[in-house]
Structure 1
Amino acid sequence: MSNNEALRQELVELDKKYFIHPTSSLQDQQEKGPSIIFDKAEGVHVYDLNGKKYIEGMASLWNVNIGYGRKELAEVAKEQMEKCAYVSSFTGFSNEPAIRLAAKVAEMTPGDLNGVFFTSGGSESNDSAYKLVRHYWKVKGKPEKTKIIARRRAYHGVASGSTSATGIESFHEFTTSLAPGFVHIDPDDPEDFRRAIQEEGADTIAAFLTEPIQGAGGVNFPKEGYLQEIRKICDEHDILFIADEVINGFGRTGKMFACEHFGIVPDVLLLAKGISSGYIQLGAVVVREHIHQDLIKYSKGVLMHGFTYSGHPTACAVGLKNIEILESENMVENSRVMGELLGSKLKELQNETDIVGEVRYLGLIGAIEIVKNQETGERFEEKLSGKVVAEARERGLILRNVTYWEKDTIVYSPPLCMTEQDVNDFVSILKESILDIQKSL
């Protein structure tokens, strides 16, 4: 037995005995062990303990935007850790990396989004936003404005509030109780938002919450004019507009933020994932100038919300370097160009295979529908996207499938540093995998 195999077997047994995996089948883990034990990563590729190479077609969890193995981020983390690894931001304490990152985020976000509250990730950003907007209305003399209107098929995280805001039923079924004050509406029809306002009462609604492009729900794009109409309705009824760009932000869509595609400036912007490309835990809530100023003016005493790691100096130093790389290496533009190339090649699969239906994409986020009939969109009785994803993994391409509701969907979001050769390899493996499954039908 090789040293690598002995190590792998040791780790498999330890994993099965001690490691409870998030969003995984506990039964599969016990029967089969971890599906892959990753060992190293570089660029768009990850490697397992045996040295097998994979294209990380999901950038792990939609988040390794600048790609793997960037030593600059390790170096800046080391420097900051040696200088001042961590200090609290409570009671007015501060640190230079947090100050400079807040200023940078304010500079780069759309419109007058200027007030920045740091978190450790997307779920924290979501839950913080719900509390902050409710607090905002309370100090403005409208404490009854507490409800959050969210869209079905949306994903907003797994903390108590963000699970309740998520519009995917399986996340609700996991727990025995959801937080009150969340209402879900049709994801495509702005008139359903108007109906909800009429039924609930505008004076009870704190905010509308949306991903500009839904991610984990299947990479769903808004109908033309939808977000613009929702923005208009929010303004008419004194409702705040929260844009969750945890997945969308920092170049994923071919612009720095997805809201820019739609000409929307939200009142509150939620960030995480791409802000540090997954090299360290970091997220943020960004509010418009008037909200920030009203909080300053009307809040009395201490802002009773904060996390131990809000404004963590090492995390903020890594975030600053990550953004510097995104900008200096033109990765947002590369996302646009390589995204268009990848998307156009995936559309060709509609002619080269029998089971590829709609292909939708923007920048380096996209989805492929698996269908029985390409003309009508009829689905197979047995969903096949999981089989395609499994086959692609065997061939060295990591993807993800979504089978909520009627969907039979493959989704992708590779690192933004993709090259033309990476695109060709990605499409070649996926095509072979689809054709292999197609032959078995």
Structure 2
Amino acid sequence: MENLTELDKRHFIHPTSSIQQQQRDGAKVIMEKGEGIYLTDTNGNVYIDAMSSLWNVNIGHGREELAEVAAQQLKKLAFSSAFSTFSHEPAIKLAEKIASISPAGLNAVFFTSGGSESNDSAIKLVRHYWKIQGKQDRRKIIALKRGYHGVAAASTSVTGIPEFWGMAGHMMTDFTHAETPYGGNTEKAIASLRQVIEEEGPENIAAILAEPVQGAGGVLIPPADYFKEVRKLCDEYEILFIADEIITGFGRTGKMFGMENWGVTPDMMTFAKGVTSGYIPLGGVVVSDHIHNVLKEKSKGTLFHGFTYSGHPTAAALALKNIEIIEQENLIENSREMGEKLLEGFQKIKENLEIVGDVRTIGLLGAVELVQNPATNKRFAPDLNVAPRVIEALHERGVICRPVTFGGTDIICFAPPIVIDNKQVNTLVEKLYDSVLSVQKQIGVPS
């Protein structure tokens, strides 16, 4: 039998990867197993999974409890459709559980298979909400530059990172983007939102969609007052507010959901990733009581939207167990405490290395920016590939992480499993220090 690398080249088209690089070099790593915050490849190399793979393995790898629950459910009822008002116990109980932990007033759940489907569903639901009230012109969605919302048709179009539009272009219309609060200027960012609303016409706007923290954009944590002002703006113009909690949900930011950090309640909330800690695909949309009531009162006939695996019973059973673990093991508090510890480590690195600019965390979601001059925030020339070099140095030291270079930035993002402990945080910080120092020397900056 051919080895895995050759089979990978021949048959596996990788998502968000360089096809040419894969064909030239083969898979960068072939993983074999995971335990806690660690992944082990087929050569026996062990890595700290400092990104929870794709921001999603919140409770860590190798949790036998989830495997056992999945096995039990597979034996009992592996799958049953939720179309045509058919139902089953796991989806009902999960919907109830998610309603109980969501911000007050969000009590009804539409299930999907993942984040892109969740954001596409939210967009369709808000447009339907306005249409059945006779306001079909309210179709436009305002999102933020540098925001990431997925790769399905609508979620690609609403994403505010131009690189994601290059493959197939904007696949849907009626999406526009306002300035991000990146850099800390709430007044400027809100003014941009207001300008877009006025230019497009409030009577044409269905919703504003935003991440509590822009993850793929570079872990951009907004100013403390930003989302309160967004909420005011939405209320002023009678626009719905959708919070994309796909990365920030289920303990990632030191709260169950990211928007709770600012005491702001959205009209809709999308989720995925951490709801099952990545053990099985699942996502969804939580809607407010008001929206749910309008849908119940004014929708006629069939709601022609749904996915084969909406409310998948095995996924729902596993999600219930995952949320139970997050609550019983106090992992939200651990996320907050270890996030503070991680920030302390980042700050020490900043004090000792010349090319480290802004550092930040909110729970176990964090970033380190690399700049040519921290005093002026002058960025490196893109061809230096500073962030990718640090990522490679981290990889050599047994840490898996990811860079963000959109818009000329050099940002290293972190989202380790929220089970990480104090000793493991220290190890991660030490490896980061060594990696940044090595790149600093490569590019000729004295230490």
**Deviation at 1:193?**
1.2
Q: Which moved more, 1:374-383 or 1:239-248?
A: 374-383
**Deviation at 1:176?**
3.6
**Aligned match of 2:153 in 156, 160, 182?**
160
**Deviation at 1:33?**
0.3
Alignment correspondent of 1:150: 143
Alignment correspondent of 1:50: 43
- Residues 299-339 of structure 1: per-residue CA shift (max 9 Å, x gap): 01111110000010000000000000000000000000001
3-state SS, counterpart of residue 316 of structure 1? helix
Aligned counterparts of 2:225 and 2:169: Cα–Cα separation in 1: 37
Alignment correspondent of 2:184: none
Alignment correspondent of 1:243: 243
3-state SS, counterpart of residue 3 of structure 2? helix
Aligned counterparts of 2:421 and 2:320: Cα–Cα separation in 1: 24
- Residues 409-429 of structure 1: per-residue CA shift (max 9 Å, x gap): 100100000011110110111
Alignment correspondent of 1:340: 340
Aligned counterparts of 1:224 and 1:362: Cα–Cα separation in 2: 12
2:221 touches 2:362 (CA, 8 Å); kept in 1?
no
- Residues 216-256 of structure 1: per-residue CA shift (max 9 Å, x gap): 01011113311111111111111000000000010000011
Aligned counterparts of 2:270 and 2:437: Cα–Cα separation in 1: 39
Aligned counterparts of 1:193 and 1:409: Cα–Cα separation in 2: 25
**Aligned match of 1:138 in 126, 131, 149?**
131
Letter in 2 for 1:419: D
Q: Which moved more, 1:194-203 or 1:236-245?
A: 194-203
Alignment correspondent of 1:3: none
Distance 1:64 1:221, change over 3 A: same
3-state SS, counterpart of residue 234 of structure 1? helix
**Deviation at 1:385?**
0.8
2:34 paired with 1:41: yes
Alignment correspondent of 1:67: 60
Alignment correspondent of 2:434: 432
**Deviation at 1:380?**
2.0
Alignment correspondent of 1:266: 266
Aligned counterparts of 1:408 and 1:240: Cα–Cα separation in 2: 34
Alignment correspondent of 2:4: 11
**Aligned match of 2:91 in 82, 85, 98?**
98
2:140 touches 2:207 (CA, 8 Å); kept in 1?
yes
3-state SS, counterpart of residue 405 of structure 1? helix
1:183-202 map, 5 Å: 183-188=176-181, 189-202=189-202
1:201-350 map, 5 Å: 201-350=201-350
Aligned counterparts of 1:62 and 1:198: Cα–Cα separation in 2: 35
**Deviation at 1:48?**
0.4
Letter in 1 for 2:263: G
Letter in 1 for 2:232: K
3-state SS, counterpart of residue 407 of structure 2? coil
- Residues 34-72 of structure 1: per-residue CA shift (max 9 Å, x gap): 000000000000000011110000000000000000001
Q: Which moved more, 1:174-183 or 1:273-282?
A: 174-183
Alignment correspondent of 1:404: 406
Over aligned residue pairs, what C-alpha RMSD do you find? 0.9
Aligned counterparts of 2:291 and 2:170: Cα–Cα separation in 1: 31
Aligned counterparts of 1:204 and 1:409: Cα–Cα separation in 2: 36
3-state SS, counterpart of residue 209 of structure 1? strand
1:71-82 map, 5 Å: 71-82=64-75
**Aligned match of 1:423 in 419, 425, 433?**
425
Aligned counterparts of 2:72 and 2:117: Cα–Cα separation in 1: 27
- Residues 330-381 of structure 1: per-residue CA shift (max 9 Å, x gap): 0000000001001111110012211111101100001101112222222222
Percent identity, aligned pairs only?
54
Aligned counterparts of 2:260 and 2:178: Cα–Cα separation in 1: 24
Aligned counterparts of 1:429 and 1:70: Cα–Cα separation in 2: 26
Alignment correspondent of 1:375: 375
Letter in 1 for 2:441: K
**Deviation at 1:434?**
1.0
**Deviation at 1:383?**
3.2
Unaligned runs of 5+ in 2: 182-188
Aligned counterparts of 1:26 and 1:281: Cα–Cα separation in 2: 24
- Residues 61-106 of structure 1: per-residue CA shift (max 9 Å, x gap): 0000000000010000000000000000001100000000000000
Q: TM-score, normalised by structure 1?
A: 0.97
Aligned counterparts of 2:347 and 2:171: Cα–Cα separation in 1: 40
2:393 paired with 1:391: yes
Aligned counterparts of 1:180 and 1:81: Cα–Cα separation in 2: 41
Q: Which consecutive aligned stretches of 4+ in structure 1 deviate over 6 angstroms post-superposition?
A: none
- Residues 270-309 of structure 1: per-residue CA shift (max 9 Å, x gap): 0000000000000010000111011001001111110000
3-state SS, counterpart of residue 406 of structure 2? coil
Aligned counterparts of 1:216 and 1:428: Cα–Cα separation in 2: 24
**Aligned match of 2:165 in 172, 191, 195?**
172
Q: Which moved more, 1:347-356 or 1:361-370?
A: 347-356
2:30 touches 2:42 (CA, 8 Å); kept in 1?
yes
Q: Which moved more, 1:224-233 or 1:392-401?
A: 224-233
Q: Which moved more, 1:188-197 or 1:127-136?
A: 188-197
**Deviation at 1:194?**
1.1
Aligned residues: 434
Aligned counterparts of 1:350 and 1:207: Cα–Cα separation in 2: 39
Alignment correspondent of 2:355: 355
Aligned counterparts of 1:200 and 1:53: Cα–Cα separation in 2: 52
Q: TM-score, normalised by structure 2?
A: 0.96
Aligned counterparts of 1:439 and 1:146: Cα–Cα separation in 2: 52
